[in-house]
Amino acid sequence: MAELEHTGGSFAETARYRWVQRAAWGFARVFSILALALAWEVAARSGAFTPYMLPALSAVLERIWNDLFTGDLLTNTAVTLYRALSGFLIGAVAGVALGMGISRNRLTSWFFDPIISVGFPMPKIAFLPVVILWLGVYDVSKITMIAVEAVFPVVTATVVGIRGVERELLWSARNMGAGERELLWQIALPAALPQIMTGLQVALPIALIVAIVTEMFMGGYGLGGAMNTAARFADSRGVFAGIVEIAVIGYALVKGMTLMRRRFLLWHQEAVAPSTV
């Protein structure tokens, strides 16, 4: 009986220690954010800045709550996410398909590789006036710009991933009678999936950034359009509320993509390795 009580007590102490450890790690992860929020509030109330230059964080959060209550926040967030995710999905599908073609077909590689090399470092947002002239200022032009920006990191990651597949895997599959289609879909693509997911993780924040920029430039509904309208009417709280909203949404998207990566790569060695994210 004494041994059972001792064992039960040790289990309780272990569980308590793990809970404290998790709580400490959770606080450590958000400490810098809390410190920044506190510094923002203190600086705004110190008198060193006018409310127009730097409104207090509490006032900004109150504005966000009011926008949520009136429905403006949900409407603008839904519109921005629709554009960002639509452009991202188009860019992702096109990028993977084009990357597969470049890595497996010499003619496709000969034609598209120079275009990718020149276009990747180029700021594609410079084509925004041309896109407006061709497609107008509505969703089609915004989604087009997002897709164009998102496709390049996905193409590059797909090409690097497929070309980096171990030759021994391909040789073994060929010796077992696999054709080119089986090599691509059953060997090359699964082996390149970690690189492809990395490209998607890079493309997703880019899609959100481009969505905000195009909304600021073209106006209309969306988080970027709301910030632009607030700036025109010298609504400082509205501008800073937009910054906070975009930061939260961007963080949620990045975390969601991280969870998706772990889900798709359960078989990969990084899934069993200790994570620092």
DSSP string for 128-158: HHHHHHHH-SSHHHHHHHHHHHHHHHHHHHH
Q: Name the pLDDT band for 8 (thresholds 50, 70, 90).
A: low
What string of DSSP letters covers 39-55?
A: HHHHHHHTTSS-TTTS-
Residues 6+ apart with CB under 8 A from 146: 83, 84, 86, 87, 88, 90, 91, 207, 210, 211, 214
Do the Cβ atoms of 223 and 239 come closer than 8 Å?
Answer: no
- Of 17-26, 89-98, 110-119, 253-262, the least confident: 17-26
Per the structure block, which two tokens stand in for 130? 């041309």
pLDDT above 90 as % of the chain? 32
**pLDDT(164) > 60:** yes
Do the Cβ atoms of 117 and 156 come closer than 8 Å?
Answer: no
CB neighbour class for 204 (10 Å; exposed up to 12, middle 13-18, buried from 19) = buried
Structure letter (DSSP) for residue 276: -
Rounded to whole angstroms, how far apart are CA atoms 185 and 146?
A: 28
pTM, two decimals, is: 0.82
Provide mean pLDDT across the span 197-210.
92
Q: Name the pLDDT band for 150 (thresholds 50, 70, 90).
A: very high
- Of 39-48, 158-167, 227-236, the least confident: 158-167
**pLDDT(151) > 90:** yes
**pLDDT(274) > 50:** no
Higher pLDDT, 122 or 25: 122
Site of tokens 């193409």: 155
Higher pLDDT, 82 or 218: 82
Per the structure block, which two tokens stand in for 192? 């390149």
Provide mean pLDDT across the span 169-194.
69
- Residue type, position 171, single letter: W
From the centroid of its chain, how far is CA 224?
17
Q: Name the pLDDT band for 10 (thresholds 50, 70, 90).
A: low
Q: Name the pLDDT band for 40 (thresholds 50, 70, 90).
A: confident
Closest CA to 244 of 256, 232, 252: 252
Q: Name the pLDDT band for 180 (thresholds 50, 70, 90).
A: low
Which pLDDT score is estimated for 78?
Answer: 94
Do the Cβ atoms of 80 and 212 come closer than 8 Å?
Answer: yes
Per the structure block, which two tokens stand in for 170? 């391909």
Domain 57-272 CATH class label: mainly alpha
pLDDT above 70 as % of the chain? 79
Rounded to whole angstroms, how far apart are CA atoms 129 and 121?
A: 19
Per the structure block, which two tokens stand in for 64? 């966000």
Q: Name the pLDDT band for 213 (thresholds 50, 70, 90).
A: very high
Which pLDDT score is estimated for 211?
Answer: 94
